Amino acid sequence: MTCGGADIGMAMAKDERVGLLSFTGSTHVGKQVAMMVQERFGRQLLELGGNNAIIVFEDADLSLVVPSAVFASVGTAGQRCTTTRRLMLHESIHDEVVERIAKAYKQIRIGDPWDPNTLYGPLHTKQAVQQYLAAIEQAKQQGGTLVCGGKIMDRPGNYVEPTIITGLPHNASIVHTETFVPILYVLKFKTEEEAFSWNNEVKQGLSSSIFTKDMGRVFRWLGPKGSDCGIVNVNIPTSGAEIGGAFGGEKHTGGGRESGSDSWKQYMRRSTCTINYSKDLPLAQGIKFE
């Protein structure tokens, strides 16, 4: 393990002895890494940002939806690449789900992340706290309504309140920005086409999920006109089930795949091998070697 700052990462990206560079981090830094590695014709595996959505239809089982949305949005204090950042609710169930999730937020066990009973710990830096406050302010300016949270907690460490914001348009710039903090943007939709389109319109394409009992809708979601993400879930949240799968995403998420069925394709070199076990060499056409 090598610890350090950007100087260490840059040295690894530029070093031709590194055959494959696997990078996990922001899209901004990932672009720089990709260009440095490509410049020397090296190989890269990028696992970058995620602006993940859960879509909840009118026929969904809300006893699954509520704990799923809560776990995926506040687990690891929103500092997980598969964290749910957008919750899209059908207009017929929007108010009920928001009310139930807000009630659950008030019961979240907050404390020392080393304690196994803790669900929600601190942010990793003071800078993250400032990003949290800035995102909330932008959301308000763009038409969002604060349902709960939105403040720094009065306790030692970088603790902030888990936050829910409603009322924003699906294409608001803050909704399209991955802020690595526990803010959940709740959007209201009317049709399946609308929801699928909103899921795909962000630049990132890591994880996605729908909750429904309609099998036709499930196959449309899994098909070419459904989710454009690398992880496409049904009736489970965007995080928590990806361990062991071919983990990674599309678009600004980088396109790489770690672990699971695709990992050998990324980490190994593939060679085409031809073995001639005869005494003939049937290669040249029209040439006699005498």
> Where does the pLDDT of residue 201 fall: very low under 50, low under 70, confident under 90, or very high at 90 and above?
very high
Place of tokens 């690449």: 81
Catalytically annotated residue among 47, 178, 192, 242: 47
H helices present in the chain, as ranges: 6-14, 27-39, 62-74, 94-105, 126-141, 192-200, 215-222, 263-267
Average pLDDT over residues 183-209: 98
14-18, 203-207, 219-223, 259-263: range with lowest mean pLDDT: 259-263
Question: Distances from the Cα of 96 to the Cαs of 8, 185, 237, in angstroms?
Answer: 49, 16, 19
10-19, 82-91, 92-101, 255-264: range with lowest mean pLDDT: 255-264
Is 47 one of the annotated active-site residues of the chain? yes
Q: What is the mean pLDDT of the chain?
A: 93
Is 39 one of the annotated active-site residues of the chain? no
Give the pLDDT confidence of 212-226 residue by residue, as tens digits. 999 999 999 999 999
pTM equals 0.92
Q: 241 pLDDT exceeds 70?
A: no
Q: Read off φ and ψ for residue 208, nearest 5 degrees.
A: -155, 155
Give the pLDDT confidence of 73-94 residue by residue, as tens digits. 999 999 999 999 999 999 999 9
Catalytically annotated residue among 81, 161, 178, 242: 81
Show Cβ contacts of residue 119 under 8 Å, excluding neighbours closer than 6 positions.
71, 74, 75, 108, 109, 110
